[in-house]
Structure 1
Amino acid sequence: MPDIFEIKRIGAKLCDVARPLPERFRALFTLRNLGGEAAIDYINECFSDPSALLKHECAYCLGQMQDKYAIPKLITVLKDTHQDAMVRHEAGEALGAIGCDSVVQVLKEYSNDPVIEVAETCQLAVERIKWLNSQDKNEKLSQNPFKSVDPAPPSTEDDLALLQQKLLNENLPLFDRYRAMFSLRNINTNSSALALAQGLKCNSALFRHEIAYVLGQMQNPAGIEQLKENLKLKDESPMVRHECAEALGSIAADECLQTLQDFSQDKEVVVKESCEVALDMYQYEQSQDFQYADTLTKLE
């Protein structure tokens, strides 16, 4: 177990704007894995960072840690209209991931936010907390092989065709479609990846960005061409394009490399930075390194 001095050294790397962004990402995920209030304090410091990508990832990590200590800062970030929409969205999602009843009122308030991605995120977070408090949480769920805290539980349905139908039905509540999404992810076959990739053409940018995220989790090459296509679309939401880039880095197939290199100088800063991080992820996946969040090891 690391002592406070090691956490300080890792935190210093995370907060050092002069360091390369991929190195700071590795420090962030090291702190996430270590957990505790000191780690959270360092992550919180980064919400004043110039990089929206890093701040969004900080909010994501706080949600995955599921520590109530992070709630006050996440509420502050959600409410801060000067923050980038993707940062505020991730703060709302993190509050849903922590899942405390105490945040429901603020989530309901921001479920009507003028920024649609923030509003939809808060609506999903409210539904997740409702689900946690309901009898439905006792339903038999498929095991999540990815160990992530997701904005919706997987569906109890396991028929691929029906799941795909629900995924693409834009008349259904977003929470139900998310449940279908995570079931298709957990199935993790070429067919389920291709079914998910069709969601990259749906109307909601939030939905498309989550599709890209789960395709990256799956690391299934079947979705590569669709991810490339959305990354290349200049009129696509930066939130979606950035997630497509990171997914390609996670999949780390040879055919991902050139695309990531091509867009590592993109005019959209969050896309450019995502490609830098994705290229680091690509190198990690191609290497024999034991773990991505390796800052503690490098300190030693």
Structure 2
Amino acid sequence: MISARLQTFEKKYVPQINQCLDTELTGAANQPLLNQAMQYSVDAGGKRLRPLLTLAVVEALGQTVTPGQLQVACAVELIHTYSLIHDDLPAMDNDDLRRGKPTNHKQFGEDIAILAGDGLQTLAFEWLADAPIPAAMRIVLVKQLAVAAGPRGMVAGQVEDVSTTGTKISMLRLQALHRRKTGSLIAYAVVAGGVLAGANAAQQQLLQQYGAAFGLAFQIYDDILDETASASELGKTPGKDDAEGKNTYPRLVGMDAAKKALTDSVQVAKRSCQQLAHLDVDVTVLEALLSYFDGSQEEQK
């Protein structure tokens, strides 16, 4: 079950995240159809997990969230949404549903969907560059997000995913795929909070460990839900991974072993929290966020 502290945290920040996204996206493109398509997918919902992770770390390190820090947190949601738009395209996962609504290309056509994703991707870096935070922080965050989302991170994982579909890969290769495709952006969101709040080297190393474990757990959980949840629970078409021959934990090692791998990854994240607590970090919300993997949460990522 979600803790009262986490409910309070989400109730406080999800509206702020949504308001920031709505305000900053209004008029972000000087082409009306492009702006509409960008807003369509950003406004489709989701847990806002990645910006919440960033803000949870800022608070965990004893800071009150500033407008600039909120803008930085929201930038990663633009990258995440662009990746979903492109993932859903016929050339990729070919999905008709996302968060219970027609996917962007079903609503606007493939050409506009591709360009909406491109617009969100580049806008994320504009938001980072313009954020009212120290210039040195902006430079670090731009570089870290580019690495996490680019050809050494998320994009590399996506290429590994599509290029190995229909073949069986090793567990080590699957773990590396998941860490890049999904985990790198989640780990960035956690580490970005540390950058914003001035975490020291020891704290940042443990935040990186927590983020990497959280990211791997998130993708394993997604693999499990794809085989066990309904379309209404997922907000997208279930069973597609298995039908298309995607490499997933349940397909590679079976459901029981996949659930154990999920538990193991969550335990790694919990141990990172325990160590962070010894370094004067309030890990209450970071620990509570791990409740997303207890089976009580719908996916709708």
> In which range does the TM-score fall when normalised by the shorter chain?
0.3 to 0.5
- Give the TM-score normalised by the residue count of structure 2: 0.35
Which structure is richer in relative contact order (CA contacts within 8 A, separation 6 or more)? 2
